[in-house]
Structure formats: C-alpha cells, structure tokens
C-alpha cells in the first residue's frame, strides 16, 4: 500500500504500545516532570489545535530556542504533524547569526525557554518577521518583560484546546524540520528534513547495530534538541519503545550524574566535552555508572583515554558515532560485534578509535581531488562522500551546490575506510595539515595528547612553516593544578605517531575557542598562531 510516512504516526504508535515507558524531564523552572507517551500525545494534539488558532498553516516555519524538555518534544510532533516545519535554533550562536537565520527561514512564531527570553529581548528589533513569541512555561513562571510585552504563555495557550486533532494526510516528502549548520565561515546554511527522511533515519538509527534502543532502554540525550534534532532520539526512542530522560538545561557533570543515577538511565548520547565533565565529576565523588549500558560519543572524535575510562573503569560500552547536520545526522556507528567482544585490549582500542561502519541506508566512499574513487584499504586518505535517503540534496534557499556532485554529498571530512568497512575520520578537509606534501591528522595528535594525565584539552593546527609549508602546533589547556612541560608532551607523543608528525612546538593557554556546537574553532586558533613558526626561525 502506498501509505505516506508521517511523523505524527510515531507518537500515535508510542501512545498505544509504549505504555510502560515514561518521558522524564528536568524542568527549566526546577523539579522533575514525568508523564507517559499517552499524556504526550494528548498535549501534542492540544498544541496542534493551538497552532491552528494562531493561523499556522502547512509549510510555515515555527522556530524553537529551547533545551531538551517534554514541551520541546511536544513541539516536534505538533508542528510537523500538522504539516508545518519545526526550525530548531541553536541559542549558542552569535546574535547576528540568530537574526540571520530567523529572517532567512522567515519564522512565523518562536517558542522559547525562559533562559532565552533575554536573548530575544536583545534582538527583537531585528526579527520583525516573527508574529509572536511563546514562552515554554506556565502562568506562575511567566516573565514580565518591558521590551516584549506581548509574550504568550505556553500552558495558557494549550489549556483551552481540545485533545482531538485529526492529523492531516500529505505527501511523505513534505518538509517537517529545518536545522542550520554552524560553519566556521560564511552564513549558516539550512538543511530541510522531510517526513520520509526523518522516519527512515529514525527506524535505522534505533536498531541494535546502531544506537541499540529497545523497550528496556531509558535514553538520556545530552546532545541538544537544537543540534540536529538530538541525533534523532525524539523520533527513534518512541519507535523503539524506549523511555526518554530529558536533561533540560543541566549539562554539567553533577546535574547529569544526579539524573543518570536517579532515573537509572541506560543509554547516554553526547559530545566528548560533555563526557569529560561527567567523568571528572564521577571520579571526584567516586561514583558509578551501574545503570548505564551504552554511551554514544559523536560530534567530535572520541579520545582513546575516554573510551577506556568508560569501558574499563565504569563498565559502559562506548559507541563511537559519526554524522552531520546534512545527514539527519546518522552516518556511521562503531557498534558491538562478535569480533570486538573477543578482541584484546589493543585491537579493541584500534577499532573503537574508528567512527565505525555505515548504518543501513548510508553509502560511503572516499575520492581524490578529481572525485575518483580511492581504495578502501584503511590507509589511503580521501574526501569522504556519502549518499542515502536522509542525506541533503541541497541547502535551503541557497544556490551553492558545490558540495553536491554526481549524486553524492561531499562531507568536507577526510577519512580512510578499511576493507571491513570501518571509516576513520582523519580531519575536516580544511584542518588536515599538509607538511612537505604529506598529510598529518590533527585529530589523531589531539587524541593522543589528551591521553596525558595533565591535559584537559588539546588542539592541533597546521600553521605556516618556512621549510615545510605547514607544521603542526600543539596547543594545550592543562588540568587545574597540573603541571607538564612542552618537552614532556613531545616525549609522550614519540612512541604514538610517526616522527615527522610530532608537533614542532607546544604552547599552553587557559582556554580554547569553541563553535556553537562545542567543536574547536580552529580558524581562530590558526590565525592567532599564524606567525609562530615564521617568527621562530
Ligand atoms: P555538525 O553538522 O555540526 O553535526 O558537524 C558535523 C561534523 O562534525 C562532521 O562533518 C565531522 O567533521 C565532525 N564529527 C562528527 N562526529 C565525529 C566523530 N565521531 N569524530 C570526528 N569528527 C566528527
């Protein structure tokens, strides 16, 4: 039967069949909120009716500036389910970027958490396209804003509405969600997801060979719902029957630990910096992660030391994953296999350092500068190209098609692929270091450097060198109170990489700059140290 895929069907299914699983939220206003998928569906239908009364129609963009909470979850389903498009905005972007995005997308309404009301007050004169702002809270917590006197209260908005709403039927290729990438140069670019792409991605992502979700899982997405839809968890958890634990605004080690321990979370998802904070906290209180089975690490390369800590100290299986906004985001996953289960420690570390094998639905290949395929021998570096039904075919309202070539999407990453299909990211193509015609992976050097006990964060950039074009420079943030010298770090790396990969120098800084999605802002680091080797020689 030619039944179109529709996001609203996910929640209808979960409300009927996932009656044992709960959605738990650490609320922005304080306290814990919990309800069932059935409750979520009833409130989502009230919200869909409320959107209709706000004159929201199919194709309208409705934006959110919000943490991971049950209200944000309701917006995911109500907006897309009624045929409009949920546009999740990253509040960590610069104000100018948020202004650009809201105007580019022509967002009709903005739903905002209490935390971000001041942010909107500051930019309100520049977002005239927005017809109204809804604050995601109840009457008791509504802010009184002089600058934004007409704020609408979420709970008041949905309270009078009916719990009956017939989801409209439309083509499964109808747009459902919109996310902007936060590149380091130029304006952010919009990626549009359809009902079809979102469902296919969610079904593939929850399988045991990917994120390993099922009815026994209580999944805690630390990855924000404003960053590629929290890696699709709001869609894949209800399909799998899993419960969800939303951390709200509490991303620090202590808040996360309290929630993981209190709610007995089984599956965690987030970027390495978040796990660093969590692991440091657990070490400091001699805590445990006894309820947790898997931790999905993605967004940046997972260092070996972090994976060993999870696996060998806390008994948690680290699932290294790779993807990007343009891919909904799931591309590859380093999941459990029989081979990995019986491998010795060194073999296991070597495999888990890789970003894994393509998930079902994604094809990957590496190519040279002429887009000619390169061998999958685990050694040859090439531009990583992908294709599949949840990968973007272009950017929203943008004519730049340079990354979309011959039916493939150029990810901008450089990688190797081994004969068993395991892909390993070498670098972003603009970050790879070109020294005397050979390539050096900044990511691999960083991963080794953070293995040193005195190192909190490491960044490696290639900077101009009079003899070799570029040479690596290692920039280190030391752990509080820890001491280590440049020479000591260089010696530490000697047996880990080829001699000519060794950074020529090491500098120490108090902090490193990051992008809005927590990645190292290497453009800034490179320009800061651009003359380092030129002035030395
Ligand atoms: P974003 O679109 O903001 O999610 O960023 C996607 C980019 O993050 C990818 O193209 C990679 O460069 C990087 N990335 C994501 N996951 C990983 C990973 N596991 N290891 C290394 N880099 C990663």
Mean pLDDT for each consecutive 10-residue tract of the chain (537 residues)? 97 97 97 98 98 98 98 98 98 93 98 98 97 98 96 98 98 98 81 98 97 98 96 98 97 96 98 93 97 97 94 98 97 96 95 97 97 97 97 96 96 97 94 90 95 95 94 96 96 94 96 90 95 83
* Residue 439 a catalytic site member: yes
Residue 329 beta carbon below 6 angstroms from any ligand 1 atom: yes
* Residue 181 a catalytic site member: yes
Q: How far is the CA of 36 from the centre of ligand 1 (A)?
A: 33
| Residue 98 pLDDT | 96
Residue 259 lies in a domain: no
| Residue 257 pLDDT | 98
For residue 71, the enclosing domain spans 8-211
| Residue 518 pLDDT | 84
Strand, coil or helix: 283: helix
Residue 298 beta carbon below 6 angstroms from any ligand 1 atom: yes
Task: Report DSSP state, residue 451.
Answer: T
- The CATH number of whichever domain residue 97 belongs to comes to 3.40.50.12780
Q: Are 311 and 318 in contact (CB under 8 A)?
A: yes
| Residue 183 pLDDT | 66
Give the integer Cα–Cα distance in Å for 200 and 267: 21
Residue 415 beta carbon below 6 angstroms from any ligand 1 atom: no
Q: How far is the CA of 105 from the centre of ligand 1 (A)?
A: 24
Residue 319 beta carbon below 6 angstroms from any ligand 1 atom: no
Q: How far is the CA of 412 from the centre of ligand 1 (A)?
A: 10
Residue 525 beta carbon below 6 angstroms from any ligand 1 atom: no
Residue 387 lies in a domain: no
**292 conformational bin, left if phi > 0, alpha if psi -120 to 50, beta if neither:** beta
Query: Phi, psi (5° rounding) for residue 88?
Result: -90, 120
Residue 63 lies in a domain: yes
DSSP 295-320: EEE-SSPPPHHHHHIIIIIT--EEEE
pTM (2 d.p.): 0.94
Residue 64 lies in a domain: yes
Of 165, 194, 211, the last residue of a domain is: 211
Catalytic residue among 124, 184, 439, 515: 439
Of 190, 211, 232, the last residue of a domain is: 211
Q: How far is the CA of 499 from the centre of ligand 1 (A)?
A: 27
| Residue 184 pLDDT | 63
Residue 451 lies in a domain: yes
Residue 493 beta carbon below 6 angstroms from any ligand 1 atom: no
Strand partners, 455: 478
**Minimum CA distance residue for ligand 1 atom 23:** 300
Q: Are 133 and 159 in contact (CB under 8 A)?
A: no
**Minimum CA distance residue for ligand 1 atom 9:** 324
Q: Are 254 and 281 in contact (CB under 8 A)?
A: yes
Residue 400 lies in a domain: no
> How many domains does the chain contain in total?
2
């Amino acid at each position: 039967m030619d039944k179109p895929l529709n996001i609203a069907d996910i929640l209808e299914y979960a409300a009927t069949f996932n009656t044992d699983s709960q959605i738990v939220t650490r609320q922005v206003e304080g306290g814990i909120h919990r309800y069932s998928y059935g409750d979520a569906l009833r409130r989502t239908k009230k919200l869909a009716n409320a959107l209709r009364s706000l004159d929201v129609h199919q194709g309208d963009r409705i934006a959110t500036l919000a943490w991971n909470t049950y209200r944000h979850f309701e917006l995911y389903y109500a907006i897309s389910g009624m045929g409009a498009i949920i546009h999740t905005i990253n509040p960590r972007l610069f104000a100018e970027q948020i202004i650009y995005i809201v105007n580019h997308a022509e967002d009709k309404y903005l739903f905002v958490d209490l935390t971000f009301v001041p942010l909107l007050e500051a930019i309100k004169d520049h977002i005239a396209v927005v017809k109204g702002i809804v604050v995601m809270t109840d009457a008791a917590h509504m802010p009184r804003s002089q600058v934004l006197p007409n704020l609408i209260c979420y709970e008041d908005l949905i309270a009078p509405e009916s719990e009956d709403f017939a989801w409209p039927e439309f083509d499964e290729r109808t747009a459902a969600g919109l996310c902007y990438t936060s590149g380091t140069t130029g304006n952010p670019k919009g990626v549009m997801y359809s009902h079809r792409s979102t469902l296919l991605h969610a079904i593939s992502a929850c399988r045991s060979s990917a994120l390993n979700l099922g009815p026994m899982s209580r999944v805690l997405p630390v990855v924000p719902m404003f960053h590629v839809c929290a890696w699709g968890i709001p869609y894949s958890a209800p399909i799998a029957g899993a419960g969800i634990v939303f951390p709200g605004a509490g991303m620090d080690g202590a808040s996360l630990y309290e929630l993981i321990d209190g709610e007995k979370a089984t599956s965690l998802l987030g970027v390495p910096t978040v796990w660093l904070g969590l692991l440091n906290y657990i070490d400091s209180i001699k805590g445990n992660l006894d309820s947790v089975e898997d931790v999905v690490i993605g967004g940046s390369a997972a260092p070996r030391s972090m994976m060993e800590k999870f696996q060998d100290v806390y008994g948690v299986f680290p699932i290294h994953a790779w993807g990007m906004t343009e891919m909904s985001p799931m591309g590859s996953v380093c999941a459990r296999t029989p081979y990995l289960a019986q491998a010795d420690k060194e073999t296991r570390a070597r495999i888990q350092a890789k970003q894994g094998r393509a998930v079902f639905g994604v094809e990957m290949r590496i190519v040279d500068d002429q887009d000619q395929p390169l061998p999958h021998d685990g050694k040859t570096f090439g531009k990583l190209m992908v294709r599949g039904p949840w990968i973007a075919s272009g950017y929203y309202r943008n004519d730049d098609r340079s990354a979309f070539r011959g039916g493939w999407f150029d990810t901008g990453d450089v990688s190797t692929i081994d004969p068993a299909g395991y892909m390993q990211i070498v670098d972003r193509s603009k970050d790879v270091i070109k020294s005397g015609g050979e390539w050096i992976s900044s990511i691999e050097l960083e991963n080794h450097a953070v293995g040193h006990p005195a190192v909190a964060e490491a960044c490696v950039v290639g900077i101009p060198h009079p003899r070799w074009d570029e040479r690596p420079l290692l920039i280190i943030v030391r752990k509080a109170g820890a001491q280590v010298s440049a020479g000591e770090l260089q010696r530490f790396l000697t047996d880990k990489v080829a001699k000519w990969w060794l950074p020529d120098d090491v500098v120490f800084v108090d902090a490193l700059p990051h992008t809005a999605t927590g990645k190292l802002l290497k453009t800034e680091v490179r320009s800061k140290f651009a003359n380092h080797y030129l002035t030395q020689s």
